[in-house]
Amino acid sequence: MKYLLCFSHLSWNFVYQRPQHLLTRFSKHYQVFYFEEPKIGDSDRYIVNVQDGVYIVELFVTQHDEHTNTKIENLISRILQEYDIKDYLSWYYTPMALRFTNQLNPETIIYDSMDELSAFRFAPPQLLELEEELFKMADVVFTGGYSLYQAKKDRHHNIHAMPSSIDKAHFGKARKIQHEPEDQAHIGFPRLGFFGVVDERFDIELLREVSAQRPDWQFVIIGPVVKINPDDLPQADNIHYLGPKTYTELPLYIAHWDIALILFALNESTEFISPTKTPEYLAAGKPVISTAIKDVVQPYGNAGLVQIVEDADSFILAAEKLFSETEKDHWLRTVDHFIEDDSWDNTFQKMNRLISQVQINKMAKENLKKQINHV
């Protein structure tokens, strides 16, 4: 079995999302090593744990200085030596990893551009320069959505839109679940819920306005708060911050919501995002209200599956309309038909075929070169 070395800016146990869905599937075909972003520690060392069939690697260095990248290179080299890793692919979620992986000699380089990281808060200034370098090195590039594909399609000869998908069976459980988690059971109705990372992309002001205008509506917010001050979040009796939940727990919560929310502000950090939660909410059978995120408007808004809102007034109108609807069977049938072929298995298979094609093409070139040299 060949090896796949993935270099990511995300911790494996932070939020279960695109990398986990894809790499657990790739782990059936490759031995996958997932390198988290290096951390400061008490010594230069690494820890390897196996989760979900994937080898999770934590890298620690004592301090950030001019020798940091060399130290990380050495740690990676030690891991390759310890596990006797010789033939491997390199998979990048962050161009920043190029600073300490130039010593590697992978058979194939994959760049899975899941977000426009350069637009996120605290993005390193050298990220764009390193991304340009990664585009030159990569054999195949994937994007996490269609708008990101449109923005980057002219930067690589072998680039493909691979929007994040869904585990329909997992979120479909929410349509039948009766049991309710204790920390949500006491919250009244109607409930409007959001799950995901609460960061600079979160529309704080929209939540503040709508919750103030409709104090009888209950807003349930699930997810870690990062890169913003928690004190900046609106506080009210009808807003309930339940903190992060595991991927396994999410259907238990969403099962008891009336409306699911995509509460993202329209700014540079959300211009190219493709929220995985959109099809997940729909698979759970919940009506969805979203701000005008491009990859939600098209296809979900245009297909009438998600209510797109611009401000607090349009939000309230959309929610009141959804609350008043008594016939949802036709809408659910439309949803199920729309997401019928949407699955992480299908996304994985498409990506794996494209990676395999790269490897086939490389072998063909090598064989041709050998034939020419032999002549």
**Residues 161, 143 contacting (CB under 8 angstroms):** yes
Q: What percent of the chain has pLDDT over 90?
A: 90
Question: What is the DSSP secondary structure assignment for residue 298, as one 8-state letter?
Answer: I
Q: How far is CA 209 from the centre of its chain?
A: 28
Q: Is the pLDDT of residue 247 over 90?
A: yes
Q: Is the pLDDT of residue 108 over 70?
A: yes
Q: How does pLDDT run across 200-245, given as a tens digit for each residue?
A: 999 999 999 999 999 999 999 999 999 999 999 999 999 999 999 9
pLDDT in the model for residue 124: 83
Task: Supply 201's token pair.
Answer: 């992309």
Strands (E) across 11-126 are located at: 31-35, 39-40, 45-51, 54-61, 88-92, 108-113
69 exposed, middle or buried (CB, 10 Å; 0-12, 13-18, 19+)? middle
Q: What's the average model confidence in pLDDT over 85-98?
A: 96
Q: What's the average model confidence in pLDDT over 30-42?
A: 96
pLDDT in the model for residue 55: 98
Task: Supply 88's token pair.
Answer: 């491997």
Strands (E) across the chain are located at: 3-7, 31-35, 39-40, 45-51, 54-61, 88-92, 108-113, 140-143, 159-161, 191-195, 218-222, 239-243, 259-262, 288-291, 306-309
Q: Is the pLDDT of residue 24 over 80?
A: yes
pLDDT in the model for residue 372: 82
Q: What's the average model confidence in pLDDT over 241-263?
A: 97
Q: How does pLDDT run across 120-139, given as a tens digit for each residue?
A: 777 788 999 999 999 999 99
346 exposed, middle or buried (CB, 10 Å; 0-12, 13-18, 19+)? exposed
Q: What's the average model confidence in pLDDT over 250-277?
A: 95
Q: Is the pLDDT of residue 370 over 70?
A: yes
pLDDT in the model for residue 373: 77
Read off the pLDDT band of 367 (50, 70, 90): confident
Lowest mean pLDDT among 109-118, 285-294, 302-311: 109-118
How far apart, in whole angstroms, are the C-alpha atoms of residue 166 and residue 72? 35
256 Cβ contact partners less than 8 Å away, ≥ 6 residues apart: 177, 180, 184, 191
Q: What's the average model confidence in pLDDT over 270-291?
A: 96
pLDDT in the model for residue 65: 80
How far apart, in whole angstroms, are the C-alpha atoms of residue 75 and residue 273? 33
pLDDT in the model for residue 164: 83
Sheet strands side by side (includes 259-262)? 239-243, 218-222, 191-195, 259-262, 288-291, 306-309
Q: How does pLDDT run across 316-338, given as a tens digit for each residue?
A: 999 999 999 988 899 999 999 99
Q: Is the pLDDT of residue 187 over 70?
A: yes
Read off the pLDDT band of 375 (50, 70, 90): low
Nearest to 87 by CA among 105, 63, 114, 64: 105
| β-bridge partners, 219 | 192, 239
